[in-house]
Amino acid sequence: MKSLDNYPNLKKDLKGGKTLPASWYTDPEIFNLEKKNIFKDSWHYVGKTHELEKPGDFITKRVNDIPVVVVKDKDNNLKAFVNVCKHRAAEILLEEKGHCKTLKCHYHAWAWDFKGELIGAPHSGKEKNFCKKDFPLTSLHLETLGPFVFISTSKNPVPWKDVLGQLPDFLGETGVDISKLQYKGRLVYNMKCNWKVVIENFLECYHCPFTHPSFVDLIDTNNYKTYTYDYISHQKGALKKSSIEKAKGGDEKLFDASENCRDGIYNFVWPNFMVNIYPGPGNASTNHIIPVDENNTIAIYEFFLDESISPREGKKIVNLVDEVQKEDVIICESVHRGLKSGDYDQGRLILSKENGIEHFQNLVFDHVSKR
């Protein structure tokens, strides 16, 4: 494969600040390798505990082309299975979410309990050598981070605690209990660019002073820092002193900031999930970056707010994130057009500002190069 073989020193180049080649963003063979070597074995965000409040509540998703279902069992535990019937391969549940007494296939009514054991198959009692125990659903690994539910379709995924690393500590240091925040909605962006372009744009604020005026009015980007770990990166930016002064004076402000306001933190979890907390009252937002193909990506942003936040203040938070993301859509689609132009091969990172991208691109290389 040319995209791999034409760069025999790529690992060394990445350590020195060079970027991944343009072909790694435009070659469908690279995209297929990413699906196989990155997304098949990774942890994936699939939903919220708010959607699974009582036994029998379920949600369904597609993870790397695999239909999955998450259900709360009778003991109030969350269970995840491949949402594929063992009879004729139909998806068992078609609804995105709902409530059920059993996991019953819509096609021929084969039914499983919440342990994944087959409990019903019409007319199977007339079949010789038919044993229900031979047809369990495929169980999947499931973990949570606050209200966020993750699953892995890998038989042996990287342990969840190793993926998260210090992230729970970083979230805890903000004073926000993300488990108690209320879900307030989401925004969806269809982007004409490679998924890695979207994530790399998130991983640096080098561009912020030039493209995000509202964000820069709020956050001190001159002292903005990015810290990298095994499978996460952690960005931190303090609220500007001018914003604090406005809050003290009762002036119009973006957030109800106080003298005890926190820094804003923006966290990436490999390979395609982010969770962010802005300064001010209890809030969190998530970014879920879903690859469609080498040229298209879906970005889903969800918002979680403390019950004390007024609708007006909550709208400000959503509007800020939406404004910044719309600015980023323009940037990311422009970058992708440049990557496809044939004029660009490899770039050079400013590592004092773009070390988060260096970290991410090395993870991409390490996974994709496992042929």
Angle between helices 195-202 and 311-339 (to 10 degrees): 120
Q: Structural domain boundaries of the chain?
A: 2-42+174-368, 43-156
pLDDT one-digit tens code per residue, 9-25: 999 999 999 999 999 99
The per-residue pLDDT for 252 is 45
pLDDT at 36: 95
Q: How confident is the model at residue 247 (pLDDT cuts 50, 70, 90)?
A: low
pLDDT of 272 > 60? The answer is yes
Strand 182-191 relative to strand 103-104, pairing: unpaired
**What are residue 310's DSSP bridge partners?**
none
Architecture, CATH, for domain 2-42+174-368: Alpha-Beta Complex (3.90)
Q: Which two tokens stand for residue 8?
A: 């025999």
What is the average per-residue pLDDT within 74-85?
Answer: 98
Confidence band, pLDDT 50/70/90 cuts, at residue 254: very low
pTM above 0.85, yes or no: yes
What is the model's pLDDT at position 317? 86
pLDDT band at 258 (very low <50, low <70, confident <90, very high): low
Question: Contact, 328 vs 297, CB < 8 A?
Answer: no
For the segment 97-119, the average pLDDT, to the nearest whole number, is: 98
240 backbone dihedrals φ, ψ, rounded to 5°: -65, 145
Task: Give the lowest-confidence range in 84-98, 161-175, 289-303, 313-327.
Answer: 313-327
Pick among 3.10.129.10, 3.40.50.300, 2.102.10.10, 3.40.605.10: CATH of 43-156 = 2.102.10.10
Which has more confidence, 133 or 218?
133
The CA distance from 57 to 96, in Å, is 11
Neighbours of 278 (CB within 10 A): 27
Tokens of 256: 């109800």
Confidence of residue 248 (pLDDT cuts 50, 70, 90): low
Peptide bond into 136 cis (omega under 30): no
Averaged confidence pLDDT in the chain: 93
The pLDDT of residue 244: 61
d(CA 348, CA 333): 19
Burial class (CB in 10 A: 0-12, 13-18, 19+), 154: middle
Query: 146-150, 205-209, 229-233, 257-261 — which is least confidently predicted?
Result: 257-261
Residue 250's pLDDT is 52
Which sign, positive or negative, has the C-alpha torsion 137, 138, 143, 149?
A: negative
Min mean pLDDT across 195-204, 231-240, 293-302 is at 231-240
Residue 249 has pLDDT above 60, yes or no: no
pLDDT in tens, 20-53: 999 999 999 999 999 999 999 999 999 999 999 9
DSSP per residue over 165-190, as a string?
TTHHHHHHHTT--GGGPEEEEEEEEE
Cα 222 to Cα 210: distance, rounded to the nearest angstrom: 13
Residue 246: the pLDDT is 61
Q: How far apart are CA 147 and CA 183, in angstroms?
A: 10
